[in-house]
């Protein structure tokens, strides 16, 4: 099946075809536009299930590989493939996109056609970036993600949308430009050294680059990805982007786009530049820990629901980065798992805040209070997603956070202990937020008549909550898919870094001898 | 039965699911009775396991059953699996037995509350989590239950969420518990990695037990201390005791079930479960015993000066938990579990009694507005009286046997110390005093209630009084499973628990108190003929009686005296009445500290430094752009000049650079 049918290409092209179709629909028929977008993304999700179920979980290498020469004279290929790391992120993308379409049903009435087109193009770009194994192809998809996201914030966003959109664009562009330069440098270095000029990632993995050069190239890649994650101190674009973006924009931004930064580290920055990784691990781990605690403290200070959740992403992504840079099974798998969890829980939180916003047109915590009374159904879902966000055992968040902390602790006890303190702070800011919004007496008259969830909204949240529990109670379904790839990844990394750590030790011994 | 032990936690989970799914469409009484039935079925299964255990030889009394593999990653592999042994079966019986009675009581107590369905849904969830905690076969599953009961506690304390004080108290409980959980979690990591370093990667209790000897003493000390941090949080010991008094904001059956009989004892259970680790760490055990006895004393003293009857009971619970920690801290695990059980009976009863009083008094909680309830609420009166006698340690009542066992072990065991005994014995006297202060103040004397309240005073309905009577019966006879040898019994509960704790042979005296231990060794010998043990027993009974007598004098004979004492020692009273201002201290240090730090970070780091740099760069770019714009003058000559200069530089670079 996977030899004959180009599943990854299908997954990438299908949403784009959908975008074209939606473009051709009559502008007046709003319902038709929405339904087509929904059906299209649902079929896309069904198609991705095919990927999930035919994925060979014992194979550590790239699967569903497609490679065709594209610009042979430059060594650029149309080269796709997926492994246990990216496959699950593809699944997350197709799932979240469906929810995004559903949650925009009533919220978006202006320029509806363009909106759904943007979303479908965005889906193509995200899946493309996750599956590309050629650096140029990757870069194209990476940049392609920017445009629809920029439009989503800038056109359908809140009052300060232009500022937020430009900030988002500039921050990401700064990183992208550096990454482009690094890609070119890598290309010329490898070509110069071996005579093979290629952008194929698999080929470039073999590159033997002098340590100093690795530092520079890693720095360029890492900066670009760290902005995207975002890691402290490159995070200040995120609260603005999130607050101004429409609900679905916030959801997709948190659930998938931020993961692209982490994925970039995993797929590119780390395996390409092992020497730099050895040197940079302490720095990145510390930034991750600062991000965990700093993000949490920032959350406590926020008065705007969306800003609060945005800062909580800084904290959660800190966990992810810490886990990955622990370079052991628990840390790595926990990190990947936590990316999925964060997509579900934080995506869920933005969905819920969006539902509240649609009713009240405010995001200020102080404008609420006592909502449990008028919206009991929403209260239940909100509580479950909140608990998942603070990693209560039984929910998805716990599995990821536990594995990450265990992995971090294994690699460096101090890291583990410091990061675990975020567990306390997480409870503080989330429960306080929940209390101020949902508990207490209704103090604002406007809140008294708010309707509870509609069927459509309930359906969205049922999906979110189902994944919260499925991933919390039976993580094996997903962890098994990544086991082989993660183990293979670590094995390769160990072999690659051993050279540098041993060399580093020798050098240290030499200087000590002097 | 061994294959069906998973049914014990399963039934409450089923009750939770059924009620959550159908609750909206069914009646209040359907939900209530489904919830009760679920707990009762669990109780039956637990009882059947006990029955089977008693037929088996002591070593064979372990049932373990794995359901499925939960988390597997690298060396880590954790199952969802259950384990029942002598210890967990006792816990299951207490949780489901007392839990069932409290459920039934709640049917009456919560009858008129609009949220009654939600209440029973939470309550079932709680029992499920608690049973998970005690039946899980590995540390991580125990942690699931541990945090799960914390969640239910949070939900139930804040049950009346429209009240700010209630939702504040719930949040406080959860956060303070998370501080403890943080220690627990780090403890799990430390244990997992220390054992892993010896080649054994496991979190399974049996496997940890078999391999514990591989750990170094230092590692065992650190691990047990970290776990103890968790226990201190969950069981409200100093310095994390602050959440429990506030937790009384929850409905009274919740206080009874969660904050007296079951959840708060989880810390004691945890130490008992990990006894083989604690026994390897005498330093930790000493700390456990000291924290326990100090908490017992400290909380009892606060109990002197409170007027809210539930708060008095809450401090009493903290104090009694301190006793249990003394027990496990001196290696008398069985005595700790024994007291845990009797305490569940009498303290559960005391809270339900307090609930019945509130029911009679239209929700009144202040001791100053009570009095004279004896005649009007006879069942509540008598059952409360029995519970007071039990907690005071009057011979023949359950609390006497368990408390005396603890006192004797605190004195005589290798880990014990006469000072610990002394402080604990004094605390026992204080307990008798404040309990009878509460008892006399509520039921005796003239009624001090408002007139309209007085008219309504009535005994509670049968659905509430029958559980009171059953618990009173248990408070009376519950101690007979642990009659000490000295009184001609054979301490059946200790014998039953021996397979769990026997493996942990009491550690030899480790030099902490070598001299004193030696001095008392002869006394220990004297203990064999029992005269010393008997003498101490008599002493503790006398102390308890003295406490009751003082309460009688102060609150029945001469009710003006306490006020004069308070006035005489105004400053001391002020401190005690305000709980030594611990809450205020924490508020200043942590709550305001974090808010201040947060405000600083937000203003200075986020907005000033980071955004300043970003905006500064943007400004710089804009200004540079302005300058560059001036270059574009529109004169072709100037452009040509620029092109030439550029070309020279490029060519120069290409030509000159390779020369070097």
Tens digit of each residue's pLDDT (9 = 90 or more) over A211-265: 888 999 999 999 999 999 899 888 888 998 999 999 999 999 999 999 999 999 9
Interface test with A, best of B74, B140, B249, B600 (most A CBs within 10 A): B74
CA distance A337 to chain B (A): 11
Q: Is A297 on the interface with B (CB under 8 A)?
A: yes
Cβ-in-10-Å burial (0-12, 13-18, 19+) of B636 comes to exposed
- Among the partner-chain residues B76, B595, B610, the one whose CB lies closest to the CB of A406 is B76
**How far apart are alpha carbons B401 and B598 in whole angstroms?**
52
Considering only residues 53 to 72 of chain B, which have any Cβ-Cβ distance to chain A shorter than 8 Å?
68-72
Residues of B in contact with A328 (CB under 8 A): 74
| Beta strands in B268-416, from DSSP E residues, in sequence order | none
Interface test with A, best of B17, B71, B150 (most A CBs within 10 A): B71
Let me know if residue A281 belongs to a domain: yes
**Please, which pLDDT band fits residue B529 given cuts at 50, 70 and 90?**
low
pLDDT at A3: 55
Give which of A131, A43, A121 is closest to A79, Cα–Cα. Answer: A131
Residues B383 and B471 sit within 8 Å (Cβ to Cβ): yes
Q: Is the pLDDT of residue B580 over 70?
A: yes
Give which of B139, B145, B166, B143 is closest to B77, Cα–Cα. Answer: B139
Give which of B402, B401, B544, B387 is closest to B474, Cα–Cα. Answer: B387
**Is B186 in Cβ contact with A392 (below 8 Å)?**
no
**How far apart are alpha carbons A100 and B370 in whole angstroms?**
59
Q: Is the dihedral of CA B450, B456, B462, B464 positive or negative?
A: negative
Report phi then psi at B560, rounded to 5.
-80, -20
Dump the DSSP string for A42-110. Answer: HHHHHHHHHHHHH--TT--S-EEEEEEEEEGGGTEEEEEEE-TTHHHHHHHHHHHHHHHHHHTTTT--T
Whether the ω angle into residue B148 lies within 30 degrees of 0, i.e. cis, is: no
**How far apart are alpha carbons A77 and B372 in whole angstroms?**
91
Count other C-beta atoms under 10 Å from residue A54's C-beta: 13
**Is A420 in Cβ contact with B175 (below 8 Å)?**
no
CA distance B618 to chain A (A): 10
**Please, which pLDDT band fits residue B261 given cuts at 50, 70 and 90?**
confident
Q: Is the pLDDT of residue A19 over 60?
A: yes
**How far apart are alpha carbons A138 and A127 in whole angstroms?**
10
Specify the range with the lowest mean pLDDT, choosing from A109-118, B5-14, B644-653: B644-653
Reduced to 3 states (helix: H, G, I; strand: E, B; else coil), residue A230 is coil
**How far apart are alpha carbons A267 and B555 in whole angstroms?**
76
Q: Is A470 on the interface with B (CB under 8 A)?
A: no
**Is B74 in Cβ contact with A330 (below 8 Å)?**
yes
Q: What angle in degrees, to the nearest 10, is found between the helix axes of B86-109 and B28-55? A: 160
Specify the range with the lowest mean pLDDT, choosing from A99-103, A424-428, B56-60, B338-342: B56-60
Q: How many helices (H) and strands (E) does chain B have?
A: 29, 2
**How far apart are alpha carbons B258 and B236 in whole angstroms?**
12
Q: Which helix (H) or strand (E) is B179 found in, with range?
A: helix B164-197
Average pLDDT over all residues of chain B:
85
Reduced to 3 states (helix: H, G, I; strand: E, B; else coil), residue B88 is helix
Question: What is the per-residue pLDDT across A125-175, written as a single tens digit (0 to 9) for each?
Answer: 999 999 999 999 999 999 999 899 999 998 998 888 888 888 888 888 888
The CA-CA-CA angle for residues A438, A443, A446, to 5°, reads 90
Residues B457 and B377 sit within 8 Å (Cβ to Cβ): yes
Q: Is the pLDDT of residue B550 over 80?
A: yes
pLDDT at B504: 42
- Among the partner-chain residues B76, B154, B162, the one whose CB lies closest to the CB of A373 is B162
Q: Is A402 on the interface with B (CB under 8 A)?
A: yes
| Token duo for residue A52 | 């999930």
pLDDT at B508: 40
Dump the DSSP string for B7-66. Answer: HHHHHHHHHHHHHHHHGGGS-HHHHHHHHHHHHHHHHHHHHHHHHHHHHS-GGG--EEEE
pLDDT at B216: 86
Region of residue B220 (left: phi > 0; alpha: psi -120 to 50; beta: else): alpha
Mean pLDDT of A280-284: 92
Mean pLDDT of B459-488: 87
Residues B303 and B330 sit within 8 Å (Cβ to Cβ): no
Q: Which residues of B95-118 are buried (b: 16+ CB within 10 A; e: fewer)?
A: bbbbbbbbbbbbbbbbeeeeebbb
Q: In terms of CA atoms, which chain B residue is nearest residue A487?
A: B74
**Please, which pLDDT band fits residue B655 given cuts at 50, 70 and 90?**
low
| CA distances, B170 to each of A187, A431, B88 (Å) | 59, 10, 28
Let me know if residue A187 belongs to a domain: yes
Q: Is the pLDDT of residue B526 over 50?
A: no
Compute the CA torsion angle B11, B12, B17, B21 (nearest 10 deg): 110
**How far apart are alpha carbons A122 and A388 in whole angstroms?**
27
ipTM of the complex: 0.88
Reduced to 3 states (helix: H, G, I; strand: E, B; else coil), residue B81 is strand
Q: Is the pLDDT of residue B505 over 60?
A: no
| Token duo for residue B345 | 């009976």
| Token duo for residue A106 | 């009533």
| CA distances, B653 to each of A188, B527, B643, B644 (Å) | 19, 99, 15, 14
Mean pLDDT of A183-204: 90
**Please, which pLDDT band fits residue B522 given cuts at 50, 70 and 90?**
very low
Question: What is the per-residue pLDDT across B293-313, written as a single tens digit (0 to 9) for each?
Answer: 999 999 999 888 888 889 999
Q: Where are the domains of chain B?
A: 282-573, 583-659
Interface test with B, best of A297, A341, A452 (most B CBs within 10 A): A297
Give which of B298, B302, B439, B315 is closest to B367, Cα–Cα. Answer: B439
- Among the partner-chain residues B68, B72, B171, the one whose CB lies closest to the CB of A431 is B171
According to DSSP, the residues that pair with B72 across neighbouring strands are B77
Give which of A183, A287, A180, A157 is closest to A235, Cα–Cα. Answer: A287
CA distance A232 to chain B (A): 10
Considering only residues 137 to 196 of chain B, which have any Cβ-Cβ distance to chain A shorter than 8 Å?
140, 143-144, 147-148, 151, 154, 158, 161-162, 164, 167-168, 171, 174-175, 178-179, 181-182, 185-186, 189-190, 192-193
Q: Is the pLDDT of residue B514 over 50?
A: no
Mean pLDDT of B586-602: 82
Pairing of strands B76-84, A63-71: unpaired
pLDDT at B518: 45
| CA distances, B618 to each of A170, A172, A221, B613 (Å) | 10, 14, 22, 9
| Token duo for residue B199 | 């080649």
SS3 content of chain A, % helix, strand, coil (to 5): 80, 5, 20
Let me know if residue A135 belongs to a domain: yes
Region of residue A10 (left: phi > 0; alpha: psi -120 to 50; beta: else): alpha
Q: Is the pLDDT of residue B656 over 70?
A: no
pLDDT at A26: 87
Average pLDDT over all residues of chain A:
90
Q: Is A170 on the interface with B (CB under 8 A)?
A: yes
Let me know if residue A2 belongs to a domain: no
pLDDT at B226: 94
Cβ-in-10-Å burial (0-12, 13-18, 19+) of A67 comes to middle
pTM here is 0.89
Report phi then psi at B223, rounded to 5.
-60, -45
What residues make up the domain containing A361? Answer: 7-513
Residue owning tokens 């309990």 = B435
| Token duo for residue B573 | 């009273």
Q: Is the pLDDT of residue A184 over 70?
A: yes
Q: Is the pLDDT of residue B222 over 90?
A: yes
Give A353 or B517, the one with higher predicted confidence. A353
Give B636 or A68, the one with higher predicted confidence. A68
Interface test with A, best of B115, B189, B243, B604 (most A CBs within 10 A): B189
Region of residue A427 (left: phi > 0; alpha: psi -120 to 50; beta: else): alpha
CA A498 to chain centre: 30
pLDDT at B369: 83
Let me know if residue A1 belongs to a domain: no
**Please, which pLDDT band fits residue B265 given cuts at 50, 70 and 90?**
very high
Q: Is the pLDDT of residue B659 over 60?
A: no
CA B211 to chain centre: 28
Give B522 or A55, the one with higher predicted confidence. A55
**How far apart are alpha carbons A147 and B345 in whole angstroms?**
67
Residues of A in contact with B147 (CB under 8 A): 392-393
CA distance B24 to chain A (A): 11
**Number of domains composing chain A:** 1
pLDDT at B519: 43
Give which of A172, A423, A407, A418 is closest to A288, Cα–Cα. Answer: A418
């Amino acid at each position: 099946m996977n030899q004959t049918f180009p599943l990854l290409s299908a997954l990438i092209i299908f949403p784009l075809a959908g975008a074209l179709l939606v473009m051709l629909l009559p502008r007046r028929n709003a319902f038709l536009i929405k339904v087509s977008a929904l059906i299209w993304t649902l079929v896309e999700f069904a198609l991705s299930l095919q990927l999930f179920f035919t994925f060979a979980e014992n194979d550590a290498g790239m699967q569903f590989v497609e490679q065709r020469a594209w610009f042979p004279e430059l060594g650029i290929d149309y080269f796709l493939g997926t492994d246990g790391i990216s496959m699950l992120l593809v699944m997350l993308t197709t799932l979240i996109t469906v929810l995004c379409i559903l949650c925009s049903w009533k919220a978006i009435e202006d320029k509806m056609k363009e909106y759904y087109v943007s979303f479908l193009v965005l889906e193509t770009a995200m899946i493309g970036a996750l599956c590309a194994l050629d650096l140029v192809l990757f870069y194209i998809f990476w940049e392609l993600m920017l445009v629809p996201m920029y439009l989503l914030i800038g056109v359908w966003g809140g009052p300060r949308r232009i500022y937020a959109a430009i900030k988002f664009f500039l921050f990401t562009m700064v990183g992208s430009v550096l990454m482009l330069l690094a890609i070119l440098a890598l290309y010329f270095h490898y070509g110069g050294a071996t005579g093979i000029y290629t952008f194929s990632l698999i080929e470039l993995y073999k590159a033997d680059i002098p340590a100093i050069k690795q530092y520079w190239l890693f720095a360029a890649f890492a900066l670009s990805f760290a902005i995207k994650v975002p890691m402290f101190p490159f995070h200040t674009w995120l609260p603005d982007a999130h607050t101004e973006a429409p609900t679905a924009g916030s959801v997709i931004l948190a659930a998938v786009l931020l993961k692209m930064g982490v994925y970039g580290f995993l797929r590119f920055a780390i395996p390409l530049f092992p020497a730099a990784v050895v040197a940079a691990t302490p720095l990145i781990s510390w930034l991750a820990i600062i991000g965990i605690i700093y993000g949490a403290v920032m959350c406590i200070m926020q008065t705007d629901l969306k800003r609060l959740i945005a800062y909580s992403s800084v904290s959660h992504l800190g966990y992810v980065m810490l886990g990955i840079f622990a370079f052991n099974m628990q840390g790595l798998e926990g990190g990947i798992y936590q990316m999925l969890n964060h997509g579900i829980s934080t995506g869920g939180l933005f969905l819920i805040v969006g539902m509240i916003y649609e009713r009240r047109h405010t995001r200020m915590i102080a404008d609420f209070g006592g909502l449990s009374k008028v919206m009991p159904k929403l209260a239940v879902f909100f509580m479950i997603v909140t608990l998942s966000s603070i990693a209560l055992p039984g929910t998805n968040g716990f599995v990821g956070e536990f594995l990450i902390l265990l992995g971090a602790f294994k690699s460096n006890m101090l890291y583990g202990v410091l990061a675990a303190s975020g567990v306390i702070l997480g409870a503080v800011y989330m429960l306080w937020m929940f209390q101020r919004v949902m508990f207490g007496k209704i103090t604002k008259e406007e809140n008294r008549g708010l309707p509870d969830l509609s069927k459509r909204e309930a359906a969205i949240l049922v999906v979110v909550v189902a994944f919260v529990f499925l991933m919390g109670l039976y993580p094996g379904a997903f962890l098994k898919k990544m086991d082989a790839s993660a183990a293979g990844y670590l094995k390769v990394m160990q072999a690659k870094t051993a050279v540098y750590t041993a060399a580093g030790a020798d050098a240290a011994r030499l200087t000590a001898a002097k | 039965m061994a294959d069906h032990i998973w049914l014990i936690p399963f039934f409450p989970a089923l009750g939770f699911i059924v009620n959550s799914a159908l609750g909206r469409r069914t009646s209040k009484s359907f939900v209530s009775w489904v919830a009760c039935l679920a707990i009762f079925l669990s109780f039956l299964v637990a009882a059947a396991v006990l029955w089977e255990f008693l037929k088996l030889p002591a070593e064979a009394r372990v049932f373990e059953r794995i359901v499925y593999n939960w988390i597997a990653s690298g060396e880590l592999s954790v199952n969802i699996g259950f384990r029942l042994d002598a210890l967990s079966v006792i816990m299951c019986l207490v949780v489901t037995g007392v839990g069932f009675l409290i459920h039934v009581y709640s049917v009456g107590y919560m009858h008129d509350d609009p949220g009654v369905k939600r209440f029973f849904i939470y309550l079932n969830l709680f029992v499920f989590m608690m049973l998970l905690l005690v039946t899980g076969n590995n540390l991580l599953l125990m942690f699931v239950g541990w945090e799960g009961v914390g969640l239910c506690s949070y939900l139930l304390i804040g049950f009346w969420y429209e009240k700010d004080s209630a939702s504040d108290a719930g949040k406080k409980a959860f956060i303070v518990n998370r501080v403890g959980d943080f220690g627990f979690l780090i403890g799990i990591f430390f244990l997992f990695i220390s054992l892993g370093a010896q080649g054994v990667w496991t979190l399974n209790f049996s496997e940890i037990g078999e391999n514990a000897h591989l750990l170094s003493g230092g590692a065992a000390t650190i691990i047990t201390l970290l776990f103890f941090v968790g226990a201190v949080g969950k069981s409200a010991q100093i310095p994390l005791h602050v959440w429990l008094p506030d937790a009384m904001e929850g409905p009274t059956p919740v206080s009874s079930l969660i904050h007296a009989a079951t959840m708060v004892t989880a810390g004691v259970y945890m130490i008992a479960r990990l006894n083989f680790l604690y026994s390897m760490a005498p330093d930790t055990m000493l700390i456990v015993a000291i924290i326990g006895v100090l908490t017992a004393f400290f909380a009892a003293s606060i109990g002197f000066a409170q007027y809210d009857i539930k708060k008095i009971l809450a401090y009493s619970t903290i104090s009694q938990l301190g006793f249990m920690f003394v027990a496990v801290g001196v290696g008398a695990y069985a005595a700790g579990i024994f007291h845990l059980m009797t305490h569940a009976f009498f303290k559960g009863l005391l809270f339900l009694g307090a609930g019945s009083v509130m029911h009679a008094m239209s929700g009144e909680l202040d001791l100053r507005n009570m009095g004279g309830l004896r005649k009007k609420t006879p069942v509540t009166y008598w059952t409360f009286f029995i519970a007071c006698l039990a907690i005071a340690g009057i011979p023949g009542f359950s609390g006497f046997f368990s408390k005396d066992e603890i006192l004797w072990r605190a004195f005589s065991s290798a880990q014990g110390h006469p000072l610990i005994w002394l402080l604990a014995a004094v605390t026992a006297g204080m307990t008798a005093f404040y309990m009878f202060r509460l008892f006399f103040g509520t039921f005796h004397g003239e009624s001090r209630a408002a007139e309209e309240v007085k008219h309504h005073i009535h005994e509670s309905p049968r659905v509430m009084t029958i559980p009171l009577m059953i618990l009173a019966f248990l408070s009376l006879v519950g101690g007979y499973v642990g009659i000490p040898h000295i009184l001609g019994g054979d301490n059946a509960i200790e014998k039953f628990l021996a397979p769990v704790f026997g493996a942990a042979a009491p550690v030899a005296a480790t030099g902490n108190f070598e001299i004193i231990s030696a001095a008392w060794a002869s006394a220990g010998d004297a203990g064999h003929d029992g005269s010393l043990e008997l003498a101490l027993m008599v002493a503790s009974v006398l102390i308890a009686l003295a406490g009751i007598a003082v309460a009688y004098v102060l609150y029945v004979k001469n009710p003006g005296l306490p006020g004069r004492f308070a006035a005489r020692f105004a400053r001391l009273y002020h401190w005690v009445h305000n709980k030594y201002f611990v809450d205020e201290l924490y508020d200043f240090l942590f709550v305001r500290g974090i808010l201040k730090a947060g405000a600083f970070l937000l203003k200075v780091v986020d907005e000033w430094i980071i955004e300043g740099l970003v905006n500064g760069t943007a400004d710089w770019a804009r200004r540079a752009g302005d300058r560059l714009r001036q270059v574009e003058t529109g004169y072709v000559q100037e452009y040509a000049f620029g092109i030439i200069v550029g070309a020279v530089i490029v060519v120069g670079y290409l030509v000159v650079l390779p020369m070097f």
